[in-house]
């Protein structure tokens, strides 16, 4: 029986060797004129995904069949979760009970260890929805610097600050990654034509639902796990959050690598690694969302006092519980 570390090392070595061979072959074809560069890039992307799944996920799962978990070890010390649905006929969605147990075992792990665990378990069926808050930038840094295979997207309402759009580009350039744009069904102009101008000022909940919540639901239906940037010290409802937990609202595993961190931890990480962040944070905007609904926070006010100022609304609803109670929204400093 293979030891866990030896087995993983062998699998990764085989994966990289196969990928290197494929890459060399495809590049030779490209530079000798047998195929064009665009086709080569497409083939390389497909080859990478194939190697990641077939040589890493499936081979590891086969080696793991029938093995008893090693106490205190990862990932075999954590209940094995089902592989991504849709990849083969035998794969199923993650089990809520196993997810809950994984959250207990991962309690003392670092954010990077939790991210690595999640990528091992979910592979291409793992995603990260970022709103480019300070916490989100810290997670993007970990994913980018360590080349973790995580899909990343953002909800572009069409109403973000210019500084947020600029940060989006800077993060992609810094880490050589692509952060997918996910937008609502209607453009801002189309929404105004159908529902009247400045819906956010008249019916902010409805606007958030159309431009944020509905697109998120559609995206998460395609994945088995999603990464968030929530922390226990953000709200009372998050005080009991686990590193991994079952998301009843969206029906998939919710991975919270920063759950034990504080604001101090987040900013220490950003400064230590020179991570790009939104300059609005330095100008009195601790929580940054859509431009029409975000204002500067005055001394002594709560961090989210500048969101939907003048209304009773304080949340966008992305982290609403199944009973309708809401938490801190994704498009702020806490995401």
Q: Which of 137, 207, 208, 316 is catalytic?
A: 316
For residue 107, count other CB atoms closer than 10 A to its CB. 12
Cβ 270 vs Cβ 264: under 8 Å:
no
What pairing do the DSSP bridges indicate for beta strands 252-255 and 244-247? Answer: antiparallel
Q: What phi, psi does 14 have (nearest 5°)? A: -65, -45
Cβ 315 vs Cβ 329: under 8 Å:
yes
For tokens 């091992």, name the residue: 120
Q: Say how many Å lie between the first and final Cα of the chain, rounded.
A: 42
Q: What phi, psi does 332 have (nearest 5°)? A: -120, -170
**Is residue 316 among the annotated active site residues?**
yes
Residues ≥6 apart with Cβ < 8 Å to 299 = none
Q: Catalogue the E-assigned strands of the chain.
A: 126-129, 151-155, 180-182, 225-227, 244-247, 252-255
Cβ 161 vs Cβ 333: under 8 Å:
no
Residues ≥6 apart with Cβ < 8 Å to 141 = 175, 269, 270, 273, 275
Structural Rg of the chain based on CA atoms: 21
What is the distance of C-alpha 76 from the center of its chain? Answer: 23
Beta bridge mates, 127: 151, 226
Give, in order, the Cα–Cα distances in Å from 328 to each of 151, 162, 221, 235, 292: 22, 22, 21, 7, 18
- Look at residue 113 and give its three-state secondary structure: helix
Cβ 243 vs Cβ 121: under 8 Å:
no
Catalytic residues: 316
């Amino acid at each position: 029986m293979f030891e866990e570390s030896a087995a993983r090392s062998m699998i990764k070595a085989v994966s990289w060797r196969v990928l290197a061979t494929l890459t060399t072959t495809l590049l030779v074809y490209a530079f000798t004129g047998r195929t064009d560069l665009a086709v080569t890039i497409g083939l390389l992307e497909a080859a990478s995904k194939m190697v990641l799944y077939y040589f890493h996920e499936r081979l590891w799962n086969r080696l793991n069949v029938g093995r008893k978990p090693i106490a205190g070890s990862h990932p075999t010390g954590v209940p094995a979760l089902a592989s991504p649905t849709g990849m083969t006929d035998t794969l199923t969605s993650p089990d809520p009970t196993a997810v809950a147990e994984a959250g207990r075992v991962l309690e003392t792990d670092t954010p990077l260890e939790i991210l690595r665990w999640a990528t091992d378990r979910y592979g291409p069926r793992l995603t990260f929805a970022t709103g480019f808050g300070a916490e989100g930038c810290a997670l993007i840094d970990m994913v980018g610097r360590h080349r973790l295979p995580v899909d990343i997207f953002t909800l572009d309402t069409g109403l973000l600050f210019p500084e947020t759009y600029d940060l989006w580009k800077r993060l992609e350039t810094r880490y050589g990654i692509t952060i997918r744009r996910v937008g609502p069904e209607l453009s801002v102009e189309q929404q105004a034509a159908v529902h009247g101008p400045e819906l956010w000022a008249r019916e902010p909940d409805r606007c958030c639902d159309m431009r944020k919540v509905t697109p998120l639901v559609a995206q998460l239906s395609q994945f088995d796990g999603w990464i968030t940037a929530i922390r226990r010290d953000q709200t009372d409802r998050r005080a009991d959050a686990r590193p991994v937990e079952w998301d009843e609202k969206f029906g998939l595993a919710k991975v919270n690598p920063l759950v034990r961190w504080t604001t101090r931890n987040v900013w220490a990480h950003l400064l230590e690694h020179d991570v790009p962040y939104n300059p609005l944070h330095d100008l009195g905007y601790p929580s940054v969302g859509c431009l029409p609904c975000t204002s500067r926070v005055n001394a002594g006010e709560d961090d989210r006092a500048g969101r939907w100022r003048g209304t009773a609304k304080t949340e966008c609803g992305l982290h609403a519980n199944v009973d309708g109670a809401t938490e801190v929204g994704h498009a702020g400093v806490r995401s």
